[in-house]
Amino acid sequence: MKMAALRWVLLVAFLVAAGHGAEASRIRHYRWEVKYEYRSPDCFRKLVITINGQSPGPPILAQQGDTVVVDLKNSLHTENVAIHWHGIRQIGTPWSDGTAGVTQCPILPGETFTYKFVVDKPGTYMYHSHYGMQRMGGLYGSIEVAVADGVQEPFSYDAVYSLLLNDWYHKSTTEISTDISTVRFEMDGMDDMGGMGGMGGMGGMGGMGGMATMGGDPQSLLIEGRGRYNCSSMDSMGGSCNMTNPECAPHFITVTPGKVYRLRIGNLASTSSLSFEIEGHDMTVVEADSNYVEPFTLKSLYTYPGETYSVLFKANQDSRRNYWISTNIALSESSTPTGVAILNYDSNPSRQAPATMPPAGPSRGDVAAGLAQSLAIKAHRDHVIRPPRRTDRLITLLITQNTINGFLRWSVNNISLVLPQTPHLIALNEKYAKRASNSTPMLPDVYFPSDYDIFRPPPHRKTSCGTSVYHLKFGSVVDVILQNANTMYPNSSELHPWHLHGHDFWVLGYGLGLFDPSKDSSKLNLVDPIMKNTLPLFPFGWAALRFVADNPGVWIFHCHIDPDLFLGMGVIFEEGVDRVGNLPKSIRGCGQSKY
Amino acid sequence: MKMAALRWVLLVAFLVAAGHGAEASRIRHYRWEVKYEYRSPDCFRKLVITINGQSPGPPILAQQGDTVVVDLKNSLHTENVAIHWHGIRQIGTPWSDGTAGVTQCPILPGETFTYKFVVDKPGTYMYHSHYGMQRMGGLYGSIEVAVADGVQEPFSYDAVYSLLLNDWYHKSTTEISTDISTVRFEMDGMDDMGGMGGMGGMGGMGGMGGMATMGGDPQSLLIEGRGRYNCSSMDSMGGSCNMTNPECAPHFITVTPGKVYRLRIGNLASTSSLSFEIEGHDMTVVEADSNYVEPFTLKSLYTYPGETYSVLFKANQDSRRNYWISTNIALSESSTPTGVAILNYDSNPSRQAPATMPPAGPSRGDVAAGLAQSLAIKAHRDHVIRPPRRTDRLITLLITQNTINGFLRWSVNNISLVLPQTPHLIALNEKYAKRASNSTPMLPDVYFPSDYDIFRPPPHRKTSCGTSVYHLKFGSVVDVILQNANTMYPNSSELHPWHLHGHDFWVLGYGLGLFDPSKDSSKLNLVDPIMKNTLPLFPFGWAALRFVADNPGVWIFHCHIDPDLFLGMGVIFEEGVDRVGNLPKSIRGCGQSKY
């Protein structure tokens, strides 16, 4: 790295000027207030959950080894909140993971909760609400952790920008969560539902499940919290919409010809797999989920909800004009318009819109292209962390769509995740009597009925709710095979980005169809696999990952599509909970922990 | 009472048939689930907070001396809840009063909380959320407590119906609470604001404060949860609105010619003083806030939010047609249309709308008529409970509109009420260290700066927030004089219905202008005052009440207009909190009570 990003230069300059020693620079203290405010991120005015008035919230800027402290005041009037620090492993601080029902009680209105954790690994992270579906309401932001002093990254650049990608719905989060809680499975009505035509077969993604339950596509896509809704559309819901509102002017980044830039890209969309392009500029992928990637170049980057990437690009095009930065819904048909920002060459007006059309992204149905990108991501040759050669436990998770009382749910090995009143971390650490858990169905390591065909709707529709805890032997090596399947609707399977808390895992492989141990096991990458915290499970496909259960705590592993988690798509891993020690009192107050 | 209401006959018949003894009949056990559901109470579809699918929630039907048990499951996704049993004194069970921040921590999503209390006094009661402004979202219902076996009421009737009155807004509660939290006081903009014209002077009620902050008048008025919004209006906010939806067909009650009916009327409007009429039929007021009234007859009944009444009427009109039952916003100008139900004479189709226009109610500006009705309400001659002759403590509460950081607030003796994180009942009963309370301003028994003129905007705009606790000597007699004043806007004062928890109080008197002890004290009614739990404080007026502080607990005394309480209009009375004994653990979990 020849020259640090300007913001880091300024930060360091400030710290030096202020006379802080190395010790003092290690605490990054934020004071945040969460509340509802009216905002027009895509020109349509609605209530947004803000942090200190902002959505996305203030970026957290830290350096490897720093301690981040966030005093979070909940100024919502009747809603609780909890914030997850996505990608931060919370080693030694499992109570700061911010997952309501798993690692803490939710933060009540009026209360201030302090999150405190060490950012031990440089990289590109994010934060967002992990309570209900509040992330959809705008409660999210970015975390950048710079390398420690004197550490070289395996690439160099002149400056860095952060670009958070998101999708945006005009309904309130309460409306959407009510909608998706009450989707009845009606085979009779299927022919009337859109999104199915010509999408059958292996690569097809039906537009039925998540999207249909959401009441359709998102209204817009946001880059750094800014999007553009066509206010003249019929779908304006009668609210206030003003396309000249400066709040929805596109975000821009300014570049100098000849310089190289790092973009930290995070996908915090609620439902959308996204492609990302910079008009006329190639990008080189150098980081994925805060792990260094053996560089490769592409024109369009696929990103799935929960993933982060760093890409480098050189400002090497005609500098007399600006260029579009664009994001599109990827791998499925959608009516959502392209989300844009502006790449501004510094000799032009910063907000000058290019005369060109924004890039429309790759072909929507090309799942093979998405799979190829994911397969291409390997650990950087100088940063390979070799996985253990053998596993101690293999857990195969079959992801299915089912019903409970006629309402759609998602299941993992036929159990649909519900979170308990007493957060798992508290209940397990303090060995509460498990009154309810005796009646909770056991989650098996493998579940695959003999009549199951992943290419057909599930033969057995009904599922049960459960708390879905896997107890892992501390320090053991765990493999997980995620197996996708057909939804309740014929010829339909959806992409699910799975995110593991508390860990990076090795991505051992991906494939389409049913995982075949005899055939596929030998193809797993044990040589130079990338480590990630989120990976895509492709439609009708499988994914294999490995991790070491060496981080004492209780960690959720779940699909990062908000409605999918909401409807049960996740499991819980407990490891070494006895080693956690005394829990902070501040995480208590719900379920049995109020006594 | 010649013949009990049909529902009671059926209930008794059921209990007898089921072989329940007298003992068994004393427990009324309800299991409720609270959640959001789409409803169209006034033909406009929006999210409503329902109980077991209903809004208003299921009526509670009990008999004097019964124990009511409600297992309340909160199935909202991110919002807490608490339910107050309005008018029930909670003698011996102050932790069941359901006032979040005062008597309990709020009930978290997923949790089930059990309310248990004795209904020791027959009458007409209500229940509603006492958390944030959720009552506006539809979380309310009625409670009827019949007299004990063998007890005669001082009037008779053939059947009884319950009619809950409410106002209805199309915005979500979250939107409204955000709106009213962010109203800036802008003198410059005043001329543009409506509702002021020709309303100056003593009897005038400016349309500024509560109404302006709410974003205008309610969209409709509901009777038993049903209203009628003109879907062709421009104000439909783009949502789904269908005037043929059976959900918004008017409520009806069926009568037989010659019979006498009791109507139990409750006003749970969020903001609206209401008049109530039965076209062509006189009504005799016999009960107010569950206390017997010396009967008097009227054509139109004024009711203020938080009040209940029973009226009798005889089905003595032409039985070949139906009649309108109507409610209108009273005492202030409003664009809200008349709310209607149908009085159905049993020979006609029950839903046949009368060809006449619904009664429009009394003249909107006639505060004198409202005052006259309140002054006319005395205790029934055979049910007079004489108040103590002398008081031990006189507290004068000056109600003013002020600002904090430029935002509108309401104050009582210049303190704007905020509720603490640790509910008062827990903090005071368990003698928690009052960390914050040292910095809380003391609420004086009297506050009246020498330059204060109640007919002008407050000379000092600024107010402070406080927890506003009055510690009352147990068993002492307490008088409260409520003194209304001009709002921040010239020639504007608003009606505030004040509701006391844990008590009935004697209504000693009302007047207009500044209370003058030398002149007005002698006019107070110590002979046959009605006891109530809610009384109207008229614009620019005063009201005087007396109660005995003999119910161990902590009780809020507040304006029952939702936005007014939300912006600080209330105080807390503590009495005999040391006598309460051990509190149930279920009310804990917030503030210091989570440890």
Q: What is the pLDDT of residues B21-44, one digit of tens each?
A: 444 459 999 999 999 999 999 999
**Mean pLDDT comparison of A461-465, B2-6, B246-250, highest-scoring range:** B246-250
Name the DSSP class of A66.
Answer: -
How far is B33 from chain A, CA to nearest CA, in Å? 15
Q: What is the pLDDT of residue B22?
A: 46
The answer to whether residues A23 and A4 touch, using CB atoms and an 8 Å cutoff, is: no
A79, closest residue in chain B (CA to CA): B79
How far is B154 from chain A, CA to nearest CA, in Å? 44
How far is A176 from chain B, CA to nearest CA, in Å? 11
Q: What is the pLDDT of residue A215?
A: 53
Cβ contact, residue pair A173, B78, below 8 Å: yes
Among B133, B236, B594, the residue with its CB nearest the CB of A594 is B594
A109, closest residue in chain B (CA to CA): B421
Distance CA B395, CA A303 (A): 65
Confidence of residue B233 (pLDDT cuts 50, 70, 90): confident
Distance CA B585, CA A494 (A): 45
Q: Which of A173, A465, A587, A594 to mutate to test the interface with B (most CBs of B within 10 A)?
A: A594
Among A80, A175, A182, the residue with its CB nearest the CB of B108 is A80
| Bridge partner list, B164 | B266
Q: Are strands A112-118 and A83-86 parallel, antiparallel or unpaired?
A: unpaired
B46, closest residue in chain A (CA to CA): A175
Distance CA A13, CA A7 (A): 10
Which chain B residues have a beta carbon less than 8 Å from that of A174? 36, 47, 77-79, 172, 174
Cβ contact, residue pair B236, A239, below 8 Å: no
**How many other CB atoms are found less than 10 A from the CB of residue A67?**
14
∠ CA A450-A456-A459, rounded to 5°:
50
Query: Which amino acid belongs to residue B379?
Result: A
Contacts of A241 (CB under 8 A, 6+ apart): A40, A43, A44, A45, A229, A231
The two three-digit tokens of residue B546, written as one number: 């007396």
Cβ contact, residue pair B37, A588, below 8 Å: no
Distance CA B507, CA B494 (A): 20
Distance CA A332, CA A559 (A): 18
* pTM of the complete model: 0.92
Which chain B residues have a beta carbon less than 8 Å from that of A178? 35-38, 47, 77
The two three-digit tokens of residue A33, written as one number: 């207030």
Cβ contact, residue pair B77, A421, below 8 Å: no
Distance spanning both ends of chain A, measured CA to CA: 54
Confidence of residue B461 (pLDDT cuts 50, 70, 90): confident
Q: What is the pLDDT of residue B232?
A: 85
Q: Is A56 exposed, middle or buried (0-12, 13-18, 19+ CB in 10 A)?
A: buried
Q: What SS3 class is residue B63?
A: strand
Average of per-residue pLDDT values in chain B: 90
Cβ contact, residue pair A78, B132, below 8 Å: yes
Tens place of pLDDT per residue across chain A (595 aa): 344 444 544 444 444 444 444 444 599 999 999 999 999 999 999 999 999 999 999 999 999 999 999 999 999 999 999 999 999 999 999 999 999 999 999 999 999 999 999 999 999 999 999 999 999 999 999 999 999 999 999 999 999 999 999 999 999 999 999 999 988 876 544 433 333 332 333 233 333 444 444 558 999 999 999 999 998 875 545 568 999 999 999 999 999 999 999 999 999 999 999 999 999 999 999 999 999 999 999 999 999 999 999 999 999 999 999 999 999 999 988 999 999 999 999 999 999 999 999 999 999 889 999 999 999 999 999 999 999 999 999 999 999 999 999 999 999 999 999 999 999 999 999 887 654 444 567 889 999 999 999 999 999 888 999 999 999 999 999 999 999 999 999 999 999 999 999 999 999 999 999 999 999 999 999 999 999 999 999 999 999 999 999 999 999 999 999 999 999 999 999 999 999 999 999 999 999 998 7
The answer to whether residues B293 and B378 touch, using CB atoms and an 8 Å cutoff, is: yes
Distance spanning both ends of chain B, measured CA to CA: 54
**Considering only CA atoms, which of B465, B476, B468, B360 is closest in space to residue B409?**
B465
How far is B46 from chain A, CA to nearest CA, in Å? 9
| Bridge partner list, A559 | A498
**Considering only CA atoms, which of B328, B322, B329 is closest in space to residue B281?**
B322
Give the model confidence (pLDDT) of B271-303 as tens digits. 999 999 999 999 999 999 999 999 999 999 999
Q: What is the mean pLDDT of residues B67-83?
A: 98
Q: Catalogue the long-range contacts made by A256-260 (C-beta closer than 8 Å, 24 or more residues apart).
A: A256/A158, A256/A315, A256/A345, A256/A346, A257/A315, A257/A316, A257/A319, A257/A345, A257/A346, A258/A314, A258/A315, A258/A316, A259/A158, A259/A159, A259/A314, A259/A315, A260/A156, A260/A157, A260/A158, A260/A312, A260/A313, A260/A314, A260/A315
Tell me whether the omega of the peptide bond preceding residue A354 falls within 30 degrees of 0, making it cis: no
Cβ contact, residue pair A131, B78, below 8 Å: yes
Which chain A residues have a beta carbon less than 8 Å from that of B175? 47
Interface of chain B toward chain A, CB-CB under 8 angstroms: 35-38, 47, 77-81, 105-106, 108-111, 131-134, 172-175, 177-178, 181-182, 236-239, 419, 421, 585, 588-591, 593-595
∠ CA B89-A79-A410, rounded to 5°:
120
Q: Is B365 exposed, middle or buried (0-12, 13-18, 19+ CB in 10 A)?
A: middle
| Interface contacts (A, B; CB < 8 Å) | 124
**Considering only CA atoms, which of A423, A424, A415, A411 is closest in space to residue A487?**
A411
Distance CA B9, CA B1 (A): 13
A111, closest residue in chain B (CA to CA): B421
Among A79, A181, A421, the residue with its CB nearest the CB of B78 is A79
| Interface predicted TM-score (ipTM) | 0.91
